[in-house]
Structure 1
Amino acid sequence: MATEEREEAAAPRLVRPYALTSGRTESAVDLPIEATLEVQPSAKTATWPEGDLSGRIIELCAASQSVAEVSAKLHIPLGVARVLLGDLISAGHLKTRATISENTTTDERRDLIERTLSGLRAL
């Protein structure tokens, strides 16, 4: 094996987080880590390139995920997840659902807290 081939094989195949967000560090939308996401009809009709991170996010959010869960399950930093989710929300492909309100039951609060903690532990 040539020296160049060995160096290429040994090199890590990582994409830097700033490359995923085009260098942006702030989301266009304020997204708390416990915010849950809902897929909108426009996302279901959109065509996503194979392996595209936005498409993977849409697939994942079909089962209502929180920001923390998206970050953990896709193995991306929380800041990157927020930027990408903000882009999808701005484009009308995702919508955030109210997390806790006066009408939220104790069981719903407990479920939300457990899911958020689970997502954070997975980070």
Structure 2
Amino acid sequence: MGGGPGWEDGLRPYQPEPSSPVRPFTVTGGRSAPRTHLAMETLVHSTIPAYHDLSGLIPEYQAICSLCRQVRSVAEISALLRVPLGVARVLISDMAAEGLVQLHQPQLDAGKPDLNLLERVLSGLRRL
């Protein structure tokens, strides 16, 4: 994942092979629901150190670990990987269960999401 113009953090989004007939649901083993509920504004960061070899992980996990060395929202990860939000949620939930990423769920105050968190998510989405 080399850097290029327009990528301030030096990362390129995950892009499946263009000629690949693999559908997004095959990446999730056919599952469409995550193990745990993940709001699109849930923040994710990798628990794997930057110097750790990721070659033992599937390509989607490698991409998510690389992206999440900087805290990102589920929505950002979905957009950067160019996968449907449901697929990103399943992958991230599975990774959290394996201890590969840590989740920071939004704190709801009487049913209202944290405005500071939403502003950070919106700012990140605008940078895309």
TM-score normalised per structure 1: 0.69
Judged with a 3 Å threshold, the aligned counterparts in structure 2 of structure 1 residues 89 and 42 are, in CA distance, closer, same or farther, namely farther
Structure 1 runs, 4 residues or longer, greater than 6 Å off: 119-123
Find out whether 1:116 has 2:121 as its counterpart.
Answer: yes
Kept in 1, the 8 Å contact 2:43–2:104? The answer is yes
Count of residues in correspondence between the two structures: 106
Aligned-residue CA RMSD (Å): 3.1
Cα distance in 2 for partners of 1:18, 1:52 equals 15
Percent of pairs with identical residues: 37
Larger radius of gyration: 1
Partner of 2:92: 85
Kept in 2, the 8 Å contact 1:33–1:68? The answer is yes
Higher relative contact order (CA 8 A, sep 6+): 1
User: Secondary structure at the residue paired with 1:79?
Assistant: helix
Judged with a 3 Å threshold, the aligned counterparts in structure 2 of structure 1 residues 117 and 85 are, in CA distance, closer, same or farther, namely same
TM-score normalised per structure 2: 0.67
Amino acid at match of 1:85: I
Q: Deviations over 1:57-97 (max 9, x none)?
A: 00001100000000011100000000000110000111112
Cα distance in 1 for partners of 2:46, 2:118 equals 21
Q: Could you list the runs of 5+ residues in structure 1 that have no partner in the other structure? A: 1-11, 103-107
Q: Could you list the runs of 5+ residues in structure 2 that have no partner in the other structure? A: 1-17
